[in-house]
Structure 1
């Protein structure tokens, strides 16, 4: 992606960068072993190309290998299960916020499933220069939730969804045009920036989980009742027990099983409503512009364009990581094609009442765990998502999950997003005081809407759409501070000058090949 410098300078952007391995031959066996020992389980979880469990026929890479139908179906279902809760959470959050009925919420959820399947097929199978052709599952990005809630707060319930859809369309079109050039901008999003933003995404969504745990609607008579909080606690305990004491497939779907168990327990408690399931049809198609024609508000468009840049950054990092795991490094061409799939899926999505799409990182972990690298497995998962989206009964079943149950699972789900951000920050050089300042200030600015919701109350309504999104303000703050502290005005080092300080515990040795281009 970027040219290798002629000397071993440490980049001034808060990230570690070492000489890249030979692109044709990769690291030699000694380097591979040292790399695994130094860099921990990330690389260790990936399959060894010399002894992976899914050997492909001669001349065919395991990524392009097809599997027997039964194995294709079961592993595809596993990928769907691993990302299912993440796909349905954003439409549930936004739909509940704008006051949709259970029937309309079912429709919105089904549309998200259908469009996640379309985007997944674009990413895995690919068309022309669209699609990374890697085992990626695509779904609604969490990064868009906070800005969409801010749009609802500014525009009101009646116009919120049309304005959101219009902003998503413009942001997706911009992202599609930027895709071939974006790899040149990634240097402005080192781990110190992306880690701060991902952490903000998770932390900013925690109030949503706590609101669900109390019942979801502050105006409802039973809001905050003991039984609601108890159901959230029961669901959380079920998820934790499954995560701790199970392995393999069951552990991967711990959140999904927690939702099922919590919903069943909630039936005798009296907080489960099966009305939408009784009225739902077996077959249905997402009606274009069901909630009205898209509307275009400048502040909303700016906010979603920022989210699109964040989403593209996350997708780029995911492609680099997955490329290592499946032993097919993601080059600039692959990244551009993958971003085109993300943004094209995001552009199509609002036509059918969906939101911005992105690659789901939790499925990367599933590829590493199962060591099944075939992209057709994930394509099968995309087909399952489409079928579920075309079956209103399946979407209605999701809508029957009580909000306190969602709240218990949401604590784990949103907390996992924040933990992913912390893991990304671990790759930054936080021993450098400059990076500490970047993280501290960007997190503080991003958490203002969470800690003090009326902080920007005196600002114009249009400005509040952006300011009330901690993700947007935190991202801009992190990028600007990174430029100020790590790029602008820094004296270039002379050749031969020491590029890095003395090694510290946890630092990646300079002689190790880089894990990222």
Structure 2
């Protein structure tokens, strides 16, 4: 009798998990990005002069459209959706511009008009934008992934302090202590040795942290029962959009930034999932971004893009299935239709999310560093990486740096991610694509010796051996231990003795003498005995 073996999916992101685990991991994605997705509609709504009830409509619509956009991006249909584990939601890149439009007299209707027009333009240029993928080699993607993690770290710190700088308890020891406790829970659950618990460590830590916060009076669920239980989004609930040339031009610049960031996120999650990402896949992802952004103002919300913080969740959990994120999209959709569930999730204290965010965003930065480890820091690559990361950190560490620049400059470079991406792409073109003028000796910052490998080191390698994530892997996918010369001699001597006892003729590596191996092993054993006595 033959037993049918379960075939592995051709792509890591196509893996299907049991339904319960799929929705548990999906909920983990929702909780990770929930604070980020509801903040933009609250900020923009307040700037437009909307009351609490109208702002609640914006939040519900934001969740509803974010769910639809996430499902489209992950499931995919012809020409739409990159079919990668990317969560979609209202982009923070557009907040400053949309606030300015709302306060310039146009109100929320001018905001929706600008978003609609700019998204149509973004949709038309998406296929051409995707062709720049050749300008995103590992030296660029590594910089961008690293900057995603670094630029999100202040967000985690702000959450840990309470999220509202005007509140009396902002940065209090109670808030930071709650965040620290959540962080410790994440680390402890990752240490228990159970793969399922480790992958759910973020979700479990958020639940435990919230329960503790509720027990000590730091979580308030009193608002959960107030308001509608079920509500359908109403198209153009605030009236038809209006169109202003200046607002549209500003939003087109924002859309270009969103296309850049989404391209970076697609490349980042592709690198983490170890799956192939080409220009066609990027174009499908960008089209999904833009068609969602076109539908967004119809349903009273704003531009949509991939959420960078969820890239960290894919990295830290190792769950690469796009259907997990599809489940997260379904949950967002339900939250948009059931405001009562949204109010439950909104009651999670921000310090709890901050503690979890420290691990999440740090993991993204570590993934970028791992990508950069594959880069040969010869030629000009060192200066590309150093200048791009430092340039990307400017708006992160000095928020007012671009305050006196023209508005369009601030729009492009206010984000550390877009700043680093623009600089890395530009420097890669200048130094690696345009060779004229480069010094043959490489960058003045590069002082490493020429890269060489000894002949005897090559002899020990076999067909299919490759280096992956700091480990030597053979053709079967098993790790090949990397040992010192002394450890190699001892292990080989033990192998020879075992073969002698079994009556087997051992196969020795080229250039290795049997007697010398045994003599060296005996000498090493005597030296160990002397040292121990």
Does TM-score exceed 0.5, indicating one fold?
Answer: yes
Q: Conserved in 2, the CA contact under 8 Å of 1:234 and 1:408?
A: yes
Distance in 2, matches of 1:152 and 1:122, equals: 25
Distance in 2, matches of 1:150 and 1:389, equals: 24
Output the aligned Cα RMSD: 4.3
Distance in 2, matches of 1:182 and 1:320, equals: 20
**Could you list the per-position Cα deviations for residues 286-345 of structure 1 after superposition, in whole angstroms to 9, with x for gaps in the alignment?**
3445678577353453134123123124325545775x65xxx66655554344334323
Secondary structure in 1 matching 2:233:
coil
Q: 1:125 to 1:214 in 2, by over 3 A?
A: closer
TM-superposed CA distance for 1:396, in Å, is 0.8
Please point out which of 50, 65, 79 is paired with 1:129. Answer: 79
Distance in 2, matches of 1:244 and 1:64, equals: 26
Query: What is residue 503 of structure 2 aligned with on the other side?
Result: none
Q: Which has the higher contact order (CA 8 A, sep 6+)?
A: 1
- 1:255-294 residue pairs with structure 2 within 5 A? 255-288=202-235, 293=241
Q: Which runs of 5+ in 1 are unaligned?
A: 1-50, 493-500
Query: What is residue 426 of structure 2 aligned with on the other side?
Result: 480
Distance in 2, matches of 1:62 and 1:459, equals: 45
Q: 1:140 to 1:380 in 2, by over 3 A?
A: closer
Query: What is residue 466 of structure 1 aligned with on the other side?
Result: 412
Query: What is residue 266 of structure 2 aligned with on the other side?
Result: 315
Distance in 1, matches of 2:153 and 2:107, equals: 22
Query: What is residue 64 of structure 2 aligned with on the other side?
Result: 114
Please point out which of 188, 192, 208 is paired with 2:139. Answer: 192
Please point out which of 323, 329, 344 is paired with 1:397. Answer: 344
Work out whether 1:305 is the aligned partner of 2:256: yes
Distance in 2, matches of 1:489 and 1:62, equals: 36
TM-superposed CA distance for 1:91, in Å, is 1.9
**Could you list the per-position Cα deviations for residues 256-303 of structure 1 after superposition, in whole angstroms to 9, with x for gaps in the alignment?**
222222222112433322233121433223344567857735345313
Distance in 1, matches of 2:110 and 2:142, equals: 29
Q: Conserved in 2, the CA contact under 8 Å of 1:118 and 1:382?
A: yes
TM-superposed CA distance for 1:449, in Å, is 2.0
Please point out which of 167, 170, 178 is paired with 1:231. Answer: 178
Q: 1:64 to 1:300 in 2, by over 3 A?
A: closer
Q: Conserved in 2, the CA contact under 8 Å of 1:349 and 1:355?
A: yes
Work out whether 1:349 is the aligned partner of 2:296: yes
Work out whether 1:455 is the aligned partner of 2:407: no
Query: What is residue 19 of structure 1 aligned with on the other side?
Result: none
Work out whether 1:139 is the aligned partner of 2:88: yes
Query: What is residue 357 of structure 2 aligned with on the other side?
Result: 410
Q: Which has the larger radius of gyration?
A: 2
TM-superposed CA distance for 1:207, in Å, is 1.9
Query: What is residue 386 of structure 1 aligned with on the other side?
Result: 333
Distance in 2, matches of 1:400 and 1:277, equals: 8
Q: 1:512 to 1:168 in 2, by over 3 A?
A: farther
Distance in 2, matches of 1:221 and 1:390, equals: 34
Please point out which of 24, 37, 40 is paired with 1:94. Answer: 40
TM-superposed CA distance for 1:186, in Å, is 0.7
**Could you list the per-position Cα deviations for residues 461-483 of structure 1 after superposition, in whole angstroms to 9, with x for gaps in the alignment?**
45433343333322221111111
Q: Which runs of 5+ in 2 are unaligned?
A: 439-449, 455-460, 469-533
- 1:3-152 residue pairs with structure 2 within 5 A? 54-55=6-7, 73-94=19-40, 110-132=60-82, 134=83, 136-140=85-89, 144-145=91-92, 147-148=93-94, 150-151=96-97
Distance in 2, matches of 1:163 and 1:418, equals: 37
Q: Conserved in 2, the CA contact under 8 Å of 1:316 and 1:339?
A: no
